[in-house]
Structure 1
């Protein structure tokens, strides 16, 4: 079974060889330049100040977070690239590389050639990522996974983003209590499970479940908080953004292990530029076949979910009723998103059968 999976993975890597490059030297872009310790960030009087509207500093949040949690991730795999947290900096890398952190209004040069490290407060994508970077980071500091407990962390909040931003753990907890609690729960689970006597398989399942609970709530929170910024984009980009959020529901329910390698594989074929009016997958001339396919599949998944009033996502969640079904679900998503020859009708028929099997288990 392992040999079959390895062969399949190698075939997919070859298939997506032309996908967007999100890494440098095998790591997310900017990783090597980003500070790796809390003490490397600007500080005065035992207060570290973070500017999450700078790409390098936002990437540093992830580098510190991944490095500080590695010791709890032994059950994930045999090396330090197996942590599910790797998916977060790779999301940021894709958004940066594809121009999605640039000011979409064109009113400033933020994120453009003259100011490439600037993250625009007008960017919907940057806004969504805020809830996947600042909040988890502050939660990890609070739970003692980052820092020595003596250094306080302050977060810069530009005036134009003050309403949606927060400046400290206390401030963020007050604004987003449920979200902060969910990420604290993940980090506590990480510590507790890693020290338990259960099998690595069980540890992995529990850690991934808690991780995706945090990421899902971050996305749900961002969906509401960042909604107004969608007005700055073309209708194809808005449609893609919505389909991207919808796809996350499927990935989360399957407990996708967003390791470094897996994340590169799944994010590589995401569109390498912001979509414009007139773009219509799978026939966007300046995007690769792989990017067109991913856009088309994401769009199909979202349209079906909208037409059927959310029942496909509900069915998918019901089908992910056990660790074995989630494993099958991850394989099914891989085939649907990464293999252009995999028919959507096959996806639907397999999903229907999986749902029936889960229903049988619950009766």
Structure 2
């Protein structure tokens, strides 16, 4: 049931990503379709706090997951310059927009007390560790982000990244490249394949100082989708009962 709900939503966002995601450099509009608080972050790893020479990311904070999405989009945008106006046809937009919709519709709130981790337009909130949607999304963004580090798509990071774990349901989640690779090697391999494909592309032309890569849209969408689906499959196997 979960996949049957997620798949059409993904396809809708994929085909209409240009209309839903206007130029990130344009004036802000609180009624636009960006995820909540998108304009309050820069997509820079330096936005996260540093402790003991480690970049600390808390995946149970809505804003921290959003920063991970934005970092991946900012780092990959150049590969999609030939796909759409203002670089809005990055295939990762579908996942990012969907993440924002999950938050706005309180899918990340605490069951049965839905006021905990509920959507708040005034300040970014949390993602409940008891939310089935939050658990499934964890395996989408965390695997994508850790694979980006492992594949060196995100390279020259100033510090090692450390994800803040929760003692609750500790065995249901992986919080490092080593942990995720031991438990979910195939999913990590699929996410790595997506980044390795991007890194293998060559510049074929430069239009208005913007490089265009020899990216095959069908291939990159397939690689993104299969990595996404692998994360969904892990999450649904663990959290479909909630």
Segment of structure 1 superposing worse, 66-75 or 113-122: 113-122
Structure 1 residues 158, 134: closer, same or farther in 2, change over 3 A?
Answer: same
Relative contact order, higher structure (CA 8 A, sep 6+): 2
Counterpart of 2:78 (choices 66, 71, 74) is 71
TM-score, with structure 2 as normaliser: 0.76
Higher Cα Rg, which structure: 1
CA distance in 2 between counterparts of 1:130 and 1:170 reads 16
TM-score, with structure 1 as normaliser: 0.52
State the 1:79 CA deviation: 2.4
CA distance in 2 between counterparts of 1:36 and 1:116 reads 16
Q: 8 Å contact 2:79–2:213 — kept in the other structure?
A: no
State the 1:211 CA deviation: 0.8
1:185-220: CA deviations, max 9, x gaps? 11001121x3176x9786112111111111111111
- Is 1:173 aligned with 2:181? yes
CA distance in 1 between counterparts of 2:43 and 2:171 reads 29
Q: Give 1:266-345 correspondences, 5 Å limit.
A: none
Corresponding position of 1:154: 162
Whose helix fraction is larger, Structure 1's or Structure 2's? 1
- Is 1:205 aligned with 2:213? no
Segment of structure 1 superposing worse, 154-163 or 122-131: 154-163
Q: 8 Å contact 1:33–1:56 — kept in the other structure?
A: no
> Mind listing any 5+ residue stretches in structure 1 that lack a counterpart?
1-8, 14-21, 231-363
1:210-260: CA deviations, max 9, x gaps? 1111111111121112223x2xxxxxxxxxxxxxxxxxxxxxxxxxxxxxx
- The number of equivalent residue pairs is 210
Structure 1 residues 149, 112: closer, same or farther in 2, change over 3 A?
Answer: closer
CA distance in 2 between counterparts of 1:65 and 1:51 reads 16
- Is 1:111 aligned with 2:118? yes
Corresponding position of 2:238: 225
Structure 1 residues 48, 169: closer, same or farther in 2, change over 3 A?
Answer: same
RMSD after superposition: 2.9
Q: Runs of 4 or more off by more than 6 Å in structure 1?
A: 199-202
